[in-house]
Amino acid sequence: DSGVTQTPKHLITATGQRVTLRCSPRSGDLSVYWYQQSLDQGLQFLIQYYNGEERAKGNILERFSAQQFPDLHSELNLSSLELGDSALYFCASSVTFPGNTIYFGEGSWLTVV
Amino acid sequence: KNEVEQSPQNLTAQEGEFITINCSYSVGISALHWLQQHPGGGIVSLFMLSSGKKKHGRLIATINIQEKHSSLHITASHPRDSAVYICAVKAGGTSYGKLTFGQGTILTVHP
């Protein structure tokens, strides 16, 4: 158990819908990262938050947004969903930035039908 | 060409064999991670390297910054080592959290 909790574990939704993925980092970890793993693109970095502020942005679509709340949990919002958004979405956390060990959650499986 | 290349893409071994997985990258980095992903999907961080060599149990990771190359070795492999091994690099400079991932190496160890 990494200590990073993601919900839901599985989600099936229709095209055009909006979903929210939730992540609770390890106790004391200030940095939260979101990654997407799809069959064709592999693992890709989406976005990082540190203590409530956005710190780095990767290949995140404009239809996607994220935030980190004062209690340090984070949410990834995916809207206007397309079939190609079907993927495993990972949240990870670390004390500060990478340079420290990163702890991954179990992932949220999103299927868009 | 991908910024992070792993080889081999697939690796099959017999229990007890010594295994090496290679990772080459084309950008300047400040850290390299080796990750393990089991069939259920969960990812575990095995090592974070910025120089030299690290060892944990039967796993050894090395990095050569000048050659932009890292290796993950598994000694006395076991069927429970069967997983996907992923190399990920953190580019140097101002990109705090952006990891770039290799495509992964699928390892299968037969008893």
User: How do residues A21-32 score in pLDDT, each as one tens digit?
Assistant: 999 999 989 999
CA distance B17 to chain A (A): 28
**Residues pairing with B54 in the sheet:** B61
| Cα distance between residue B43 and residue A107, in whole Å | 9
From B111's Cα to the closest Cα of chain A, the distance in A is: 27
A28 Cβ under 8 Å from any chain B Cβ: no
Q: Is the pLDDT of residue A100 over 80?
A: no
User: Which of A55, A98, A106 comes nearest B31 by C-beta?
Assistant: A98
Which residue did the predictor score with more confidence, A1 or A43?
Answer: A43
State whether B97 and A31 contact (CB < 8 Å): yes
State the Cα–Cα distance between residues A54 and A61, nearest whole angstrom. Answer: 15
Determine the pLDDT at residue A99. 58
Number of neighbours of residue B10 by Cβ within 10 angstroms: 9
Q: Which residues contact A81 (CB under 8 A, 6 or more apart)?
A: A13, A14, A15, A16, A17, A18, A19, A63, A112
**pLDDT tier at A7 (50, 70, 90 boundaries)?**
very high
Residue from A41, A38, A66, A55 nearest A99 by CA: A55
Share of chain A above pLDDT 70, in %: 96
> Would the pLDDT of A98 be above 60?
no
Q: State residue A67's pLDDT score.
A: 97
Whole-angstrom Cα distance, residue A61 to residue B68? 30
Residues A94-111 have a mean pLDDT of: 83
Tens of each residue's pLDDT in chain B, 111 residues: 678 999 999 999 999 999 999 999 998 888 899 999 998 778 999 999 989 999 999 999 999 999 999 999 999 999 999 999 999 998 876 555 678 999 999 999 999
Could B41 and A106 be called an inter-chain contact, meaning their C-beta atoms sit closer than 8 Å?
yes
Tokens read off for B103: 């495509």
Q: What is the mean pLDDT of residues A87-95?
A: 93
| Residues of A with Cβ-Cβ distance to B86 under 8 angstroms | 43
User: Quick one: closest CA in A to B47, which residue?
Assistant: A101
